[in-house]
Amino acid sequence: MCSDFLFRGVSLLMHKSGEGLRPRSTVFTQVMHLDTPGLFLDMGWTLDDSEENAVIGHQLNSGVHLTAGVSTTAHFDRAKHYATSGSTCSGVVYKIERSRLGSCGVEEHVVSGYTDFPKYPEDDEVILVHREHGPLPLSVVVDIIPVAP
């Protein structure tokens, strides 16, 4: 997966409220526990409080494992799927230029580099984290594309 662009799909409501590029937390490390649902010993997690665990937890369930990361995909069609909640509502897809990320203080965490067992391998998910653990800057977005079911 080598693409010049990443895509993030969100509902129209999320976009209009300004939440489309905002993470759910300001922390990007996690401790995993042996009883964490959906977690297997060979997934790549560590026994300490780490970014590796944050990536693995985030991609398993970002609603449970709250992090300073923002999910993106290398595939427009997958972002459209998320933006339209599987073709049930309208949304937008943010087109993000990867070459702008570093200069804007944004780190990329390619999920497949952390685990051999991503929950959604078809996403080729890349979790973006701003150095201040806040929202992604609009300066990385080159287009906002309206999408409908």
Q: Which residues of the chain have pLDDT under 50?
A: none
The distance of Cα 140 from the centroid of its chain, to the nearest Å, equals 14
Q: Which of 77, 72, 64, 68 is nearest to 33 (CA)?
A: 64
The whole-number pLDDT of residue 39 equals: 59
The whole-number pLDDT of residue 46 equals: 63
The whole-number pLDDT of residue 60 equals: 75
Q: Are 87 and 148 in contact (CB under 8 A)?
A: no
The whole-number pLDDT of residue 30 equals: 64
**What is the Cα gyration radius of the chain?**
15
Encoded tokens for 24: 């759910």
Which stretch of DSSP H or E encloses residue 83? Answer: helix 76-83
Report phi then psi at 98, rounded to 5.
-60, -35
Give the CA distances from residue 4 to residues 7, 58, 101, 110, 129, in Å, rounded to whole numbers and listed in that order. Answer: 10, 23, 11, 14, 18
pTM of the model: 0.85
